[in-house]
């Protein structure tokens, strides 16, 4: 047994010195030694998993910071350009047009920063939410009303079909509002012609047509930084649907996305 333990120690020393991932392995007929090998290898496997997870998180954070930095610089640079144009023109109509654009860029920047703050907050393991019972239908109407001009500019008239307009949810109101805002905003960014929200027995679906030439990866649609159309939506963190999914999970609901030809359906089951 002593020789077996000595061999195990030698292999452990080698693993630690060379940061190798080979398994501890010696030939022994002793049950205790076999058990010890198994436990040591199991421990090293767990350490490796933790290291890989930490590396992944570090890379994700680097990606997040790089993406956020770019997303913040873009509207700021744009605003600087329009401020310069305002200084150079004496046409009041032109000035108003430039100011409207600057206001839009400021709203874009505000959304980016809010996404980043909320993403950090809801991914904190110590974060606690306050739930209360309320009707979801008025919430949805309020959110849609706030996007009136966005829908109008795309000639879309939202459709709301609820089997129960007095449906009660036990949820955090602020998070629910943000979840709905992100879902509607996603439909406006990627959709065309049609948008519908329907509810049946506590299952709420968000339905919109998408451009035929858009490539959607349903496996990644709720991942952080996924943007669907990188070229056309650079002023987006790609956190929108990731935040939606996290809010759904915090409430112990479920969410899924399906694609039928050019119709994207995001469904939230609030009954779970």
Domain boundaries, the chain: 1-127, 132-269
pLDDT tens digits, one per residue of 59-103: 766 666 666 666 666 667 777 788 888 888 888 888 888 888 887
Same CATH topology for 1-127 and 132-269?
no
Fold annotation for 132-269: Heat Shock Protein 90 (3.30.565)
CA–CA separation, 59 and 55 (whole Å):
6
Q: Are 64 and 72 in contact (CB under 8 A)?
A: no
When comparing pLDDT for 241 and 240, which is higher? 241
pLDDT tens digits, one per residue of 126-178: 778 899 999 999 999 999 998 888 898 889 999 999 999 999 999 999 899 98
- The answer, as to whether pTM is greater than 0.85, is no
Predicted local distance difference test score (pLDDT) of residue 96? 86
Listing DSSP states for 123-167 in one string gives T-TT-----EEEEHHHHHHHHHHHTHHHHHHTT---EEEES-TT-
Predicted local distance difference test score (pLDDT) of residue 255? 93
Fold annotation for 1-127: Helix Hairpins (1.10.287)
DSSP 201: T
């Amino acid at each position: 047994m002593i020789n077996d333990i000595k061999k195990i120690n030698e292999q452990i020393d080698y693993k630690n010195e060379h940061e190798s991932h080979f398994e501890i392995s010696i030939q022994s007929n002793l049950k205790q030694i076999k058990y010890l090998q198994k436990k040591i290898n199991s421990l090293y496997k767990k350490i490796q998993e933790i290291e890989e997870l930490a590396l992944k998180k570090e890379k994700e954070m680097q990606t997040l910071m790089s993406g956020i930095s770019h997303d913040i610089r873009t509207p700021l640079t744009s605003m600087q350009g329009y401020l310069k144009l305002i200084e150079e023109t004496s046409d009041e109509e032109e000035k108003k047009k430039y100011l409207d654009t600057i206001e839009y860029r400021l709203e874009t920047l505000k959304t980016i920063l809010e996404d980043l703050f909320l993403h950090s907050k809801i991914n904190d393991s110590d974060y606690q939410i306050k739930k209360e019972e309320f009707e979801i239908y008025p919430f949805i109407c309020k959110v849609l009303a706030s996007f009136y001009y966005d829908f109008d500019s795309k000639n879309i008239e939202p459709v709301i079909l609820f089997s129960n307009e007095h449906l009660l949810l036990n949820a955090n109101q602020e998070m629910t509002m943000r979840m709905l805002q992100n879902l509607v905003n996603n439909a406006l960014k990627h959709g065309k012609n049609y948008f519908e929200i329907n509810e049946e027995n506590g299952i709420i679906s968000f339905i919109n047509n998408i451009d035929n030439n858009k490539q959607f990866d349903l496996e990644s649609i709720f991942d952080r930084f996924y943007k669907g159309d990188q070229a056309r939506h650079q002023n987006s963190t790609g956190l929108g649907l990731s935040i939606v999914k996290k809010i759904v999970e915090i409430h112990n609901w479920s969410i899924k996305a399906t694609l039928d030809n050019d119709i994207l359906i995001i469904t939230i089951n609030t009954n779970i």
